[in-house]
Amino acid sequence: MRLSNFGQDIAHVDLASGRVEMRPAPEDWTRKYIGARGLGVRYVLEAGAEVEPLGPDNLLCFMNGPLTGSEASMSGRWACVTKSPLTGTVTDSHQGGWSGARLRWAGFDGLVFEGHSETPVYAFIEDGRIELRDASDAWGKGIHETVAFYQERYGEKNLAVNAIGQAGERLNRFAVWVNEDDRAFGRGGTGAVGGAKKLKAIVIRAALKKSEVDDRDAWKAVRRDALDVIRDEVNITSPKKGGLSVYGTNVLMNVTNRIGALGTRNSQTTSFGDRAEAISGERVQETILVGDPTCHACPVACKKEVEVTEGPWKGLRMESVEYEPAWSFGSNCENDDVNSIAKLIDQSNDLGMDPIELGNVLSMYMEATERGWLPSGAGGLAWGDTAAMVAMADAIGLREGEGDLLAEGTTLAATKLGHPEIAMAVKGQAVPAYDPRGLKGMGLGYATSNRGACHLRAYVAAAELGVAPGEGEPLDPLEWKGKGELVKIFQDLHAFSDSLDFCKFSAFAEDAGHYAAQYSTAMGVEFTADDVMTAGERIYNLERLYNNRAGFGAGSDTLPARFTEEPSTQPGSEGHVSELSSMLAEYYAARGWEDGVVPASKLRELEIV
Amino acid sequence: MPEVRVRFYATFRPIVGGKHADVAVTEGASAGDLLDAIVTRWPELHEHLIRPDGGLSKRANLFVDGRAVRFLPEGLKTPLRESQEIDCFPAVAGG
C-alpha cells in the first residue's frame, strides 16, 4: 500500500449494467483537491449540479483520503459525497470505524456508484476485486440485522459492512449509511441515494496492510510528532485523561447548558437548567458506560458503549451516546431520560436515520402539536413523551402514518404544515447542538456551511469554549466581531483534514503544520502549512461553486429567524441574538465572495477553473 | 459570604470528589480570590487552572452566571456576590 499512489485505484461502478471500471483520478484533481471530501466533490461536480438527487445521474461516491488506513493517528475516516436529497446542495459526510481503512487495504482508493440498479444489490470487495451481488435477501432488513447477515455469510474477521436500513430503502430524506461499529455517514441523506440506486450494502474483506513510503524514518517521525501533541493535550484528547477520551463528545452537554447555548424545546430557549446533568457525559460515565471502543489508529477512543440497566429498554447495549443526539433527543425535545436517548440513537442506527435531523423533526412536530398546527386526524407528539418518540421514530423510518410526512425532513415537513418558521434548519438541513445566540461563531458556521446547517464545517466552538488553536487565546462566544475571519480559517482547515481524511478531533491538538508534515512525507511532495490552508480554501470554494450552480445564490446563507430575532432568556446568553448580517459581511469580505456567490476571479485565483 | 458553592465538571470531578463543593473565601472576594482558594484546597487542579506565569489557564473556564470571567469587564477582579452561579470546567470540545 504505497501512500503516494493514492488516486490510482478508483472503481466506477455502473449499477444499471453491473460494469466495473478502474480509472485513476486525474492527477490534477488529487493535487488540487487532495482526496476524500475534496476529490469526491470534484467527481460530483463533474456529473452536473442540476442532477436530481434521487435520480440515476447523481453519483454516490465513497472516497478515501490519501492517509485513510495509514498508521497516522486518527486516520480511520472516509467520506461519502453526493448531491443531497435533503438540501439539494453537494454534501459530504464522514464515517469512523474501520471501513475506509479496509477499503484501502483491499486495494481501492474510492468507489463511484453511477446509475440505478433494477433489483437490490450489494458490492462485495476483496483483494482488488469488486462485484455486485444480489441483495434481495437483505432488502427490508434493518442495519443491525443486515450486518449480522453478511457477517454470517463471510465471517466477522477483517470484514466491514456498510448498509442502509428501511429508511434508506424508503427514501427517507435523512437516511444514512451505518457500519458494523454503528458509525454513520450521518448527514445529508446519503442513505436515500443508496436506496434510490437499490444499493443495500458495501461489504469489504481485507486484513491490515502496512503503508509504504519513500522515507520510513521521516514518516515515523512526523507521526510521532502528531501523536505527542494528541497525548499532551491533557484536557481533551489525551488518552484516558482528556475529557473527550474519558466522557466522549457528550462532555459538552453541561458547558453549553451553563453558557446558554443549549437549544431546548425546539430552540425556544437556550438552556435545560439543572435537567441537563441527567443527559450529560458525566452522568453516562457514572451510570451506564460499559466500554470505550475505538476507530482505526485512534488513541483517543471517544466512543462510549453503554448498557441500559432499567426501564422499558433494559438490556439495550449500544454505542454511543454522543453529544449531538443527546441534545437532539434530549433537551431539544424536553427529555431528560438518558435511557430513552440511548434507545432512540439505537433506532436511528438500525433503521438508518440521521439522529440530528430526527431529533429536530420530532421537536418541530412537538412545537406544532403544542400550537395546534397539525392536520386534522393527526395525533401529534407531546414534549418529552419518550414512548411516543420511540414509536414515532419507527413510523418515520418506515414512512408509516404521520411518519411519512416527517420522513421528508424538518424543513419540508414544517413547510407542509404551513409553518416553515418552526424548522430550525439551514438550506434544508436541521441545526446541531450549539445555539447561535450563545455561540455566535457557530451560527455563522451554520449559515455558511456548504452542506446546510453543520457544526463540523467550522468548529469554532472550540475557540469559543477555550480550545483555541495553537498559541491563540479563547474567544468570547458572545462577541460577533472577528468571527467572519475565524469561521473562514476553521472551514478551510477542516476542508483539508476532511480530505486527508483525518478525524476532526485531531484539530484539538494538531495544527496545519502537523497535517502538512504528514501529507508531504506520505506523498513525497513539498507541502507546507500555507499549502494546507490554500487547498482547504480551494475545496471550500469548489463546493460553493457547485451550490451556486445548483441554485443557491445570493441570500442563501441564512439562519432561522428564531436565532436572529428572539433573544435568549437564559443565563450566559441572556438578551443575545445572532448578529448574522454583520458577521456575514465580515465573512464575505474574508472569502472574496459577492453575497455568497464565488466570483470568477476567485475561481481563477484558486486554480479551480 | 464565607463560602461559595462551586460546581465542577468533567475531569475536575474526580479530583474534587464530587459535583460541587463549598469553597471558603473572605468577605468581598473576587473571582481571582476564589480561583486561588480552589487551587489551594485541590493542588492537583493547579496545573489545569493556572498558567505558568499566573492567571487563569486558557485551557480552563471559570463561569460566573454563565459568563467566562476572562470576558467580564473586570476579569479575575470581578467581585463575587451572593446567589451567583459559579461553574468550573476544563476546556472541553467534541461535537
pLDDT recorded at residue A473 = 83
Which residues does residue A202 pair with via DSSP β-bridges, in sequence order? A123, A162
Determine whether the interchain pair A465/B92 forms a contact, defined as Cβ–Cβ distance below 8 Å.
yes
Intervals of CATH 3.60.9.10 along chain A: 3-205
What is the CATH number assigned to the segment(s) A248-430? 1.10.569.10
Does the pLDDT of residue A106 top 90, yes or no? yes
Residue A138's pLDDT band (cuts 50, 70, 90): very high
Burial of A27 per CB tally in 10 Å (0-12, 13-18, 19+)? exposed
Strand order of the β-sheet with A78-83 is A20-22, A10-14, A110-114, A60-64, A78-83, A90-95
pLDDT recorded at residue B72 = 97
Does the pLDDT of residue A333 top 80, yes or no? yes
Given CB atoms, is B78 within the 8 Å cutoff of chain A?
A: no
Mean pLDDT score, A20-31? 98
- Percentage of the residues of chain A whose pLDDT score is greater than 70: 100
**How high does pLDDT run on average in chain A?**
97
Distance from A93 to chain B by nearest Cα, in Å? 14
State in Å, rounded, how far the first CA of chain A is from the last one. Answer: 32
CA distance A553 to A413: 23
Mean pLDDT score, A235-242? 92
Is A91 in contact with A525 (CB distance < 8 Å)?
no
- Residue in A234, A243, A455 closest to B92 by CB: A243
CATH superfamily of A3-205: Aldehyde ferredoxin oxidoreductase, N-terminal domain (3.60.9.10)
Report chain B residues whose CB lies below 8 A from the CB of A302: 94
The interface residues of chain B toward chain A in range 34-73, judged by CB-CB distance below 8 A, are 48, 58-61, 63, 65-68, 70-71
Residue A311's pLDDT band (cuts 50, 70, 90): very high
CA distance A493 to A561: 29
Given CB atoms, is B93 within the 8 Å cutoff of chain A?
A: yes
pLDDT digits (tens, 9 = 90+) for A353-379: 999 999 999 999 999 999 999 999 999
Report chain A residues whose CB lies below 8 A from the CB of B60: 235, 466
Determine whether the interchain pair A254/B93 forms a contact, defined as Cβ–Cβ distance below 8 Å.
no
Question: Which residue ranges form the domains of chain B, and what is each CATH number?
Answer: 3-90 (3.10.20.30)
pLDDT recorded at residue A470 = 66
pLDDT digits (tens, 9 = 90+) for A263-292: 999 999 999 999 999 999 999 999 999 999
Distance from B15 to chain A by nearest Cα, in Å? 12
- CA proximity to A212, closest of A62, A6, A23, A26: A6
CA distance A341 to A496: 33
pLDDT digits (tens, 9 = 90+) for A532-549: 999 999 999 999 999 999
pLDDT recorded at residue A478 = 98
Does the pLDDT of residue A3 top 90, yes or no? yes
Report chain A residues whose CB lies below 8 A from the CB of B93: 236, 244, 252, 459, 461-462, 465, 467, 505, 508
pLDDT digits (tens, 9 = 90+) for A439-488: 999 999 999 999 999 999 999 999 998 886 667 788 999 999 999 999 99
Chain A CA closest to residue B87: A258
pLDDT recorded at residue A235 = 86
Intervals of CATH 1.10.599.10 along chain A: 440-558+579-605
pLDDT recorded at residue B82 = 87
pLDDT recorded at residue A234 = 87
Chain B CA closest to residue A244: B94
**A254, A269, A439: best mutation site toward chain B, by most B Cβ within 10 Å?**
A254
Determine whether the interchain pair A235/B65 forms a contact, defined as Cβ–Cβ distance below 8 Å.
no
Distance from A565 to chain B by nearest Cα, in Å? 21
- Residue in A246, A467, A572 closest to B66 by CB: A572
Higher-pLDDT residue of A144, A474: A144
Is A170 in contact with A398 (CB distance < 8 Å)?
yes
pLDDT digits (tens, 9 = 90+) for A580-593: 999 999 999 999 99
- Is the domain defined by A440-558+579-605 classed in CATH 3.40.50.1100? no
List average pLDDT for each run of 10 residues in chain B, which is 95 residues long. Answer: 91 97 95 97 96 89 96 96 94 87
Intervals of CATH 1.10.569.10 along chain A: 248-430
Determine whether the interchain pair A236/B89 forms a contact, defined as Cβ–Cβ distance below 8 Å.
no
Distance from A490 to chain B by nearest Cα, in Å? 14
- Percentage of the residues of chain A whose pLDDT score is greater than 90: 97
Residue A319's pLDDT band (cuts 50, 70, 90): confident
Q: Report residue A558 as a C-alpha cell.
A: 441564512
Mean pLDDT score, A423-451? 98
pLDDT digits (tens, 9 = 90+) for A47-79: 999 999 999 999 999 999 999 999 999 999 999
pLDDT recorded at residue B1 = 61
